[in-house]
Amino acid sequence: MPSTLKDIAKHVKLSVSTVSNILSSSDSRYNKATQKRVLQAAEELDYHPNKAARSMQGLRTKVIGVLVPDLANSYFPDIIHGIEHEADKEGYQVLLCQTYYNESDEARKISLLRQHRVDGFILFPIPFSHRNNKIFEKLKKGKIPVVCVDSKIDHIKFDFVGTEDYKGAKLAVSRLVELKHKKILCLSFGDESEIRSERLRGYTDALKKKKLKFDKNLVLPGPWEADAPADFLISLFKKKKPPTAIFAMSDLLAVWAYTQLRAAGYQIPKDVSIIGFGDLHEGRCLDTPLTTVAQDREEMGRKAISLLLARIKKPNSRCKEALIETKLINRASCFGVH
Amino acid sequence: MPSTLKDIAKHVKLSVSTVSNILSSSDSRYNKATQKRVLQAAEELDYHPNKAARSMQGLRTKVIGVLVPDLANSYFPDIIHGIEHEADKEGYQVLLCQTYYNESDEARKISLLRQHRVDGFILFPIPFSHRNNKIFEKLKKGKIPVVCVDSKIDHIKFDFVGTEDYKGAKLAVSRLVELKHKKILCLSFGDESEIRSERLRGYTDALKKKKLKFDKNLVLPGPWEADAPADFLISLFKKKKPPTAIFAMSDLLAVWAYTQLRAAGYQIPKDVSIIGFGDLHEGRCLDTPLTTVAQDREEMGRKAISLLLARIKKPNSRCKEALIETKLINRASCFGVH
DNA sequence: TATTATATTCGTAACGTTACGAATTGTAAC
DNA sequence: GTTACAATTCGTAACGTTACGAATATAATA
């Protein structure tokens, strides 16, 4: 039983519409004294405008829905921070949900947010999912403003924010090549996402540029794919011409490799150099801090909001794509080979 | 312009109320064929019930608001996972906001969530804040169901979920004492929170039990407090009778100390044993994994939901408090002294 | 004082949904 | 062909808000 405009109106003996007008637009033709009286009553009665009623006028809710896979991955909070901060500046509020990489959760959360009539979505779609894309088709057909981040939806065009995956990977691998590494392992994602293929392209092109040949046996998926990938990883380093460096497609993968190698008695970077991608906290607080490719994640969030607001204003404009720059962060995990 | 009941009604040539009834209660007296027709039309027209209109009936929204300080702290995502999972089971949905440890954001986000008429709140209040407590008084007076986690609100009683801070700290320090450490540094939070005082009490009691005397110079606040606490920390270990162990009130503090000491040339645990509190990911992936006090954070989340739902059902029942158990996780960062 | 202009305030309809009781249809029994 | 009863379906009011145009009060001018 929260108080309503009617309650306030009764309290100050004015009409509901007067109270509404005063409370919702500060600029107004109303008597200063009246305004003060109303504001005060609102305060006293602990009035919270009912967004439900408001949005029923078909007005903007000024709320945007953000759907991320998993907050436990420290990649996301920074982006969310950027989103919230920028949204806030424009008077938008953010509602946050998680999918836990689960397709039916993804669908359910989108529906929930639609029920709340959010003005638009920022989605981090589950990468390379075989989900039923109908939900997204409907978003598209309903002209609901959507910005996808990181992954795109098959066959459906939305605004998009991503990372300069190709450039970043090339940067990283070029660095290893400069340090005279000849045999560089590529620790890859297990999926078939565009992120993966771009980073792989960066890896191979960096090798090519220095006339090193690409060996597909040096590309292996991370811990969540193979059966005993840790053993397999170590076995690669026990061969007689072992790799001397690892390019990992993510910091998490890099940290995993780091841990496994250390446990197996290898020293980083003396025996093996490692370079990651993402500049996550996990890599920074390693004993030998991780050299990595960083992207400005808050900027990603800001960019996503700016694309979204542009679309909210012009729902029919052409879809835009933005790639966030990368740069190399040199820390201790890479070492020259002689 | 999402479709409405009216649209569906027109489409199937039935009244709005029939459509509403069919769509909102699956149990019903309606003709099976009619039901199918309606469901199908809803699907075709991509109908999403308008929560706004629904909640205007004064009905439950089946949405609960969760307000956390900062998702970048990996302490929170686990709890949120527990919250979401349990809420989901009961048919409740979760709206998540951050305060960034900022009091005015805290107030604004609570107001936002109230505007959405959430059925209740799970709050992680900013600890030891000098905030204006009026917002909380109003929540209390308005009988809005609220569960606080971790910190309480001064002078205002809400349901509460916390950690067995005293027992956990005592457990940790007792362990160090068993390992024959005589001089144990306590790395404390900088605030005056109840969490701090309870963990401090655990620390002192563990010492007392083994007849070790409490030295208040051995209690020092973490990195965010003193001017040059890192230097100060190291200086303590350069004295002639240096501490041989550290009890840190959080894993983050522990990791910080670990890093500083390593950088200064000390070995963990050979020179200094460290024990943390919280069992965060950061401590697990250290080169020398951190011994720590763990609490089941998903259970915290579940508990919070169960208290909240109980309160939603009986808004006037007595406030309950739940403390989540702690246990010691022995890893490599502690070492016996001889 | 009458007339106009200006400053304030008001009343009504509409948004999409649900609860409630009323209305309509169909069916079986007489 | 009534009547009784069940099976379906319907109509209306209400929730809290805002937009819109209308109404009233007050001041300024003739």
Tens of each residue's pLDDT in chain A, 338 residues: 789 999 999 999 999 999 999 998 756 678 888 899 999 999 999 999 998 898 888 778 888 999 999 999 999 999 999 999 999 898 888 888 899 999 999 999 999 899 989 999 999 999 878 888 889 999 999 999 999 999 999 999 999 999 999 999 999 999 999 999 999 999 999 878 899 999 999 999 999 998 898 998 899 887 765 556 788 899 999 999 999 999 999 999 999 999 899 889 999 999 999 999 999 988 988 889 999 999 999 999 999 999 999 999 999 999 999 999 999 999 999 998 87
Write the DSSP assignment of A106-164 as a string of letters.
Answer: HHHHHHHHHHTT-SEEEE-PPTT----THHHHHHHHTT--EEEESSPBTTB--EEEEE-
CB B34 within 8 A of CB B22: yes
Q: At what angle do helices B165-178 and B194-209 cross, to 10 degrees?
A: 30
Q: What are the tens digits of pLDDT across the range B71-86?
A: 999 999 999 999 999 9
Instruction: Indicate yes or no: CB of B142 within 8 angstroms of CB of A78.
Output: no
Instruction: Indicate yes or no: CB of B287 within 8 angstroms of CB of A282.
Output: no
Nearest-CB residue to B49 (from A55, A76, A115): A115
Q: Is the CB of B54 under 7 A from strand C?
A: yes
* b/e code A228-248 from CB counts within 10 Å (16+ = b): ebbeebbebbeeeeebbbbbb
On average, the pLDDT of chain B sits at 92
Note the pLDDT of residue A61: 87
Q: How far is CA B145 from CA B54, B66, B117, B140, in A?
A: 20, 12, 11, 8
Q: Does A219 touch chain B (CB under 8 A)?
A: no
Q: Strand D footprint at Cβ < 7 Å?
A: A 4-6, 16-17, 20-21, 23-24, 47, 49-50, 53-54, 56-57, 59; B 13-18, 21, 29-31, 34, 53, 56-58
Note the pLDDT of residue B200: 97
Q: What are the tens digits of pLDDT across the range B142-198?
A: 999 999 999 999 999 999 999 999 999 999 999 999 999 999 999 998 878 899 999
CB B302 within 8 A of CB B147: no
- Residue B224, pLDDT > 80, answer no
Q: How far is CA B259 from CA A286, A335, B247, B253, in A?
A: 9, 21, 15, 10
Q: Which two tokens stand for residue B206?
A: 């563990």
Pairing assessment for the beta strands A321-324 and A159-163 based on DSSP bridges: parallel
Distance CA B299, CA B327 (A): 14
Nearest-CB residue to A84 (from B49, B77, B98): B98
Distance CA A111, CA A102 (A): 14
Q: Which of A43, A86, A287, A290 should we substitute to test contact with B (largest number of B Cβ atoms within 10 Å)?
A: A287
The model carries a pTM of 0.88
Q: Which nucleotide is nearest to A17 (CA to C1')?
A: C10
Q: Is the CB of B51 under 7 A from strand C?
A: no
Helix/strand/coil percent split, chain A, to 5: 45, 15, 40
Which neighbouring-strand residues pair with A96?
Answer: A66, B96
- Residue B201, pLDDT > 70, answer yes
Q: Which nucleotide is nearest to A7 (CA to C1')?
A: D16
CA A235 to chain centre: 34
Model confidence band, residue B112 (pLDDT cutoffs 50, 70, 90): confident
- Residue B225, pLDDT > 70, answer no
Token pair 């740069």 is found at: A327
Q: Distance between the two ends of chain B, CA-based, in angstroms?
A: 76
Q: Enumerate domains of chain B plus CATH numbers.
A: 5-49 (no CATH), 63-163+297-323 (3.40.50.2300), 165-295 (3.40.50.2300)
Note the pLDDT of residue B250: 95
Note the pLDDT of residue A275: 98
Q: What angle do CA A6, A10, A11 make, to 5 degrees?
A: 115
Q: Does A77 touch chain B (CB under 8 A)?
A: yes
- Spatial CB neighbours of A6, under 8 Å, sequence gap ≥ 6: A16
Give the length of chain B.
Answer: 338
Q: Which nucleotide is nearest to A21 (CA to C1')?
A: D18
Note the pLDDT of residue B206: 96
Q: What are the tens digits of pLDDT across the range A306-317?
A: 999 999 999 999
Token pair 């986000």 is found at: B109
Note the pLDDT of residue A166: 98
Instruction: Indicate yes or no: CB of B48 within 8 angstroms of CB of A114.
Output: yes
**Count of CB atoms within 10 A of residue A313's CB?**
9
Note the pLDDT of residue B285: 81
**Count of CB atoms within 10 A of residue A115's CB?**
18
Distance B17 CA to C20 C1' (A): 11
Q: What are the tens digits of pLDDT across the range B264-309?
A: 999 999 999 999 999 998 898 888 999 999 999 999 999 999 999 9
User: What is the pLDDT averaged over residues B60-69?
Assistant: 92
Nearest-CB residue to B142 (from A2, A50, A54): A2
Q: Which two tokens stand for residue B130?
A: 């000098």
Note the pLDDT of residue A24: 85
Distance CA B240, CA B333 (A): 23
User: What is the pLDDT averaged over residues B323-328?
Assistant: 98
Note the pLDDT of residue B27: 60
User: Could you tell me what percent of chain B has a pLDDT over 90?
Assistant: 72
Note the pLDDT of residue B210: 86
- Using a CB-CB cut-off of 8 Å, the residues of chain B touching A54 are 52
- Spatial CB neighbours of B1, under 8 Å, sequence gap ≥ 6: A142
Instruction: Indicate yes or no: CB of A97 within 8 angstroms of CB of B97.
Output: no
Distance CA A23, CA A38 (A): 8
Angstroms from A215 CA to nearest CA on chain B: 31
Q: Is the CB of B267 under 7 A from strand C?
A: no
